Chain A
Amino acid sequence: MKKFGVGQSVERAEDARLLLGEGRYTDDIVPANALRLFVLRSPHAHAKILSIDKTASLESKGVAGILTGVDADEDDLGGFPSLVPSNAPDGSGPNFAPPFSVIARDIVRYAGEPVAIVMADTLDQAKDAAELIKVEYAPLTAVVSLADADKPGMPSIWPECPDNNDSLGVFGDKAAVEEAFSKAASIHSIDVRVSRVAVSPMEPRVATGVWNEAEGRYELTAGVQSPHMTRTQLAACIFKVPPSKVRVRALDVGGGFGLKGVPHPELALVMWAARRLGRPVHWFSERSEGFLSDCHSRDHISHCDLALDEDARIVGLKFNSRANLGAYISLAGMHCAQGNIGHLSGVYTTPAIYAEVRAYFTNTVPIASYRGAGRPEALVVLERAMDAAAFDLGMDPAELRRRNLIQPEQMPYDTGFQFTYDSGDYPVSQTKAQEAADWAGFEKRRAEALRRGKLRGIGMGHVVEIASGMRDEMGEIEIEADGSVTFSTGFHNHGQGQETTMRQLISEFLAVPPEKIRMKDCDTDVQNFGLGSAGSRAAAVGGALIKTLSEKVIEKAKIIAAIPLETDAAQIEFVDGTFNARGTNKTATFAEVAALAHNPMGLPDGFDGGLAHKQIVRPGGPTFPNGCHICEVEIDPETGELDAIGYWVCEDVGRSINPMIVKGQIHGGVAQGLGQIFGEFIEFDREGQLLTGSFMDYQMPRALDIPHITTISHDVPSPNNPLGIKGAGESGTVGAMPAGLNAVCDALKPLGIRHFDMPASPHRLWKAIHDAGGIDAICKPTEAA
């Protein structure tokens, strides 16, 4: 077995650099002459801008310029578009899709919206000047609550959309569902609130814009997940120039999670200001600024009806939900609302599904993707409905699931709704997870906890999620004259370990040791196409990409090897890094062939020298990573404090390139899913002011809040790409939300509580327990003293 190839838990190549402070984050490499940009943000959630007076602030020390919406209009600055179309609620045509504005013109529509930007030599000077800008607002009533957005009397955020209901997405077969429901033995309904959260990557958003006067083009270095997609939007929609007039690169980035896959106003603002002022312009979000202005995520209110037959087999599912868009539709806003509704199929055979999703404007920062991006929003509701049905029937929720699982021999499985699953063995995953968690012994543990006065619960969540839905990616492998390899791609590593896994793949196919593989920056100047890292796609698509590129390189290398080996290319075989002429003992090493490729004198006349290959690859259909998650919790009914006892997951990521990195991805994903269930929660007051604007109020989980996570693998290779890889980026989060919430609800079950909405923060838990009569209602704990 190769020491560095696919399937090995090799250490992460990027860690030493990052841990020793040798990373190149955007904020580390700010040009010396850069101006600092400060964004003056709207203090109101909804207001008319009557006037902006910048006279005094322009005199302030160090100020190089101040720009507002008036200047933006002068330059015809556009906004970021919504990438996913939907329909108007009355079905009359496409939905109204106001672009995500980068700077307010005459109306501000969320607290934190950019109103003016100040560029100065230092950030403090820019802030001082911003304090002198006089903005006169006429406050308007704000639409803050998703639940009430279309209530009569609510103001309209957009005249084009009077009741704030922007779109209605209708999915599935209504008649088939009605028919199934009419024959059902039982129907189980549930309402689930999927809370609003702040993504909060370790590295805040950051951007440096440069105007390249010589070439007449914009340059951006920024913390983004996909420089190429960002470039496309900036060029086409903001500056209205050809993409070749915009360069975007992303060096080290400290976490993206979907947030940084969605273009935000400041990316455009630094570039615009740089062009206006003729100096580089740098912006780095402060944490509290991030809470206000980073796109938030999730925020759905959903209703689900599940119809079962007399054997508790699912015969139909109805889903109805309200999704928050915020004040504008971000690039991924509608995607999160409606684009991943296919996940309602879950791992179950559900003959008929019908879903209606209404998306609403509110006076809040736009909604965008966060690890899962619509997947957990659908799956947490389905998995809660499963537990609610089990509650109603007095059945073990694990047994109810088992009866309804898609069987491995049914693969590939057409759900009849939106997806066709590639492969997987859901029953075995469930068995392995249950065994690891000692599911069978749980009631004993519950009873023992109750004797200590504690409420203990266990919860299961099955995840199956689409990965590598965006299939295309470009890459280039170039062989240097010394036999070393440089690789470029549109994928961007922002913490996932892709510098390691991509090296492993190259090493696997070209038999080159890792130290001879160099990764180029993710830069639109290095390569002109890419879709970036998102949607759990880099492993599956990257595997197919690197395999293809490597094969093409070897194909050409054989032609070159045939010259010194004095045979023809068809007679050359590539084994363990050496080219052999079949039937002889003549060989050439990879390095020798590389050297010859770059020595035109040694090549026959007319021979195309060099050894490299670049192309876009599109592997077969998407992949469906899956897994069975189990979480166990204990709640102190006196205080509402929750203790996460344990977590077990049997995952199927298909073939894994690096099992250690896969585990890390699962662990991190689970922590983010549990974080939302246990306490992360964005809250606004009635005026639309953020109440959870810092980590003093926003309950980010600490390491100690997360239980030990046991990861078991039961990987079934995917038939949809040559390496059988499925992907591991998001399933941890998508599985943890239902498993965590089901555990909390199960703990409350003895009190007669059927459903409890996230977050399970102490106050909310205590209140639910208190309102249900307290633990005394079910037992009298033996007092310790």
Chain B
Amino acid sequence: MYPFDYHRAGNVADTLTLRASLADARFLAGGMSLLPMMKLRFASTPNIIDLRDCEELRGIEASYEVVRIGAMTRHVDVAASADVQAAIPALAKLAAGIGDPMVRARGTMGGSIANFDPAACYPAACLALGATIQTTGGDIEADEFFIGVFETALKDGELVTGAEFPIPDAAAYAKFRHPASRFALVGVFVARFGELVRVAVTGASRSGAFRWAAAEDALTESFSIRSLEGLKMDHSEMNGDIHGDNEYRAHLVEVMTRRAVLETLESAPAA
């Protein structure tokens, strides 16, 4: 690790003032993505601003229509939340399947979406549920927020404060775990709002999580696995490495989509 100065402030307003006073700095949430990179000297920063004292960034609120999750809410808290389990069980399950108990006890939702790892789980949920990402600069729709691998619409010094997830009629997240890292080799989040279906895929693409428009159209037309028959994921957009070439990843997208649809049907049969 390269040396850095460590800072923290007691609330969001003071954190932003602190940030503005420093030429170059990075926020620290759970540290599960940032710290390993710093330890390997792949990432460095002169200043770390720890968000741990920003109590207002923590917490979960559910209304009839949305679940709001504060940026500093840890994966373990989302997984264990009765509100999330009741409103969007697929989201609780997604959080419960991230990493291992140590990672879930420190990693945060805000950190996950700000980081936008191409194999991270939360971005798929944000895209499929049509979440609104709340930042200190305003609200950003998930479709506009995620730009490319490790690249989001966040501006320098802008903080994610939380995300609002619309509550679907039914949803499911099917994740095929990377055999070594246990991130998503391919993860597919399917959400149904009345007739409308949204499908988001993570892990598979060279450019991060994305919505699979053809599957959305087919499933909006008729929500059944029959609708997916013959639907092919384009190989050329897929990532390929020693754990799976692009053909395999494209195939897994099709399989995981089918499984997510089946699970969605099981959780709430289509009207």
CB-CB under 8 A from B180, the residues of chain A are: 679, 692, 695-700
Partner of B243, one of A124, A697, A784: A697
Judge if B230 is at the interface, Cβ distance under 8 Å: no
Judge if A121 is at the interface, Cβ distance under 8 Å: no
A784/B262 contact (C-beta < 8 A), A127-B41, A762-B179 known: yes
Residues of chain A in range 752-770 having any CB-CB distance to chain B below 8 Å: 761-763, 766-767, 770
Residues of chain A in range 684-719 having any CB-CB distance to chain B below 8 Å: 691-692, 695-700
| B262 smallest CB distance to A (angstroms) | 6
On whether the beta carbons of A767 and B242 are closer than 8 Å, the reply is no
At the interface with chain A, which of B58-66, B191-199, B247-255?
Answer: B247-255
Residue among B180, B242, B245 having the largest count of chain A Cβ atoms under 10 Å: B180
On whether the beta carbons of A785 and B262 are closer than 8 Å, the reply is yes
CB-CB under 8 A from A641, the residues of chain B are: 176
| B250 smallest CB distance to A (angstroms) | 12
On whether the beta carbons of B179 and A761 are closer than 8 Å, the reply is yes
CB-CB under 8 A from A697, the residues of chain B are: 180-181, 242-243
Judge if B225 is at the interface, Cβ distance under 8 Å: yes
CB-CB under 8 A from A700, the residues of chain B are: 180
What number of A-B contacts does a CB cutoff of 8 Å give?
Answer: 49
CB-CB under 8 A from B243, the residues of chain A are: 697, 761, 763
On chain A, the number of residues with a Cβ less than 8 Å from chain B's Cβ atoms is 26
| B265 smallest CB distance to A (angstroms) | 6
CB-CB under 8 A from A640, the residues of chain B are: 248
Judge if A683 is at the interface, Cβ distance under 8 Å: yes
Judge if A288 is at the interface, Cβ distance under 8 Å: yes
Give Cα A700 to B100, complex, Å.
Answer: 14
CB-CB under 8 A from B255, the residues of chain A are: 638-639
CB-CB under 8 A from A766, the residues of chain B are: 248, 251
Give Cα A481 to B104, complex, Å.
Answer: 56
Give Cα A691 to B240, complex, Å.
Answer: 13
Give Cα A767 to B252, complex, Å.
Answer: 12
CB-CB under 8 A from B179, the residues of chain A are: 679, 699, 761-762
Give Cα A699 to B178, complex, Å.
Answer: 9
| A783 smallest CB distance to B (angstroms) | 8
A124/B248 contact (C-beta < 8 A), A691-B242, A692-B242, A785-B225 known: no
Judge if B1 is at the interface, Cβ distance under 8 Å: yes
| A164 smallest CB distance to B (angstroms) | 25
Judge if B244 is at the interface, Cβ distance under 8 Å: yes
Judge if B86 is at the interface, Cβ distance under 8 Å: no
On whether the beta carbons of B176 and A639 are closer than 8 Å, the reply is yes
Give Cα A785 to B261, complex, Å.
Answer: 10
Give Cα A158 to B72, complex, Å.
Answer: 57
**Nearest chain-B residue to A705 (Cβ)?**
B179
Residue among B2, B248, B262 having the largest count of chain A Cβ atoms under 10 Å: B248
CB-CB under 8 A from A639, the residues of chain B are: 176, 252, 255
**Nearest chain-B residue to A783 (Cβ)?**
B225
Residue among A700, A762, A770 having the largest count of chain B Cβ atoms under 10 Å: A762
Give Cα A128 to B244, complex, Å.
Answer: 37
On whether the beta carbons of B3 and A124 are closer than 8 Å, the reply is yes
Give Cα A92 to B93, complex, Å.
Answer: 66
* Interface residues in chain A, defined as those with a beta carbon under 8 Å from any beta carbon in chain B: 124, 127-128, 288, 638-641, 679, 683, 691-692, 695-700, 761-763, 766-767, 770, 784-785
Shortest 7 CB-CB contacts between residues of A and residues of B = A696-B181, A699-B180, A763-B244, A699-B179, A638-B255, A763-B248, A697-B180
* Interface residues in chain B, defined as those with a beta carbon under 8 Å from any beta carbon in chain A: 1-3, 40-41, 176, 179-181, 185, 225, 242-245, 248, 251-252, 255, 262, 265-266
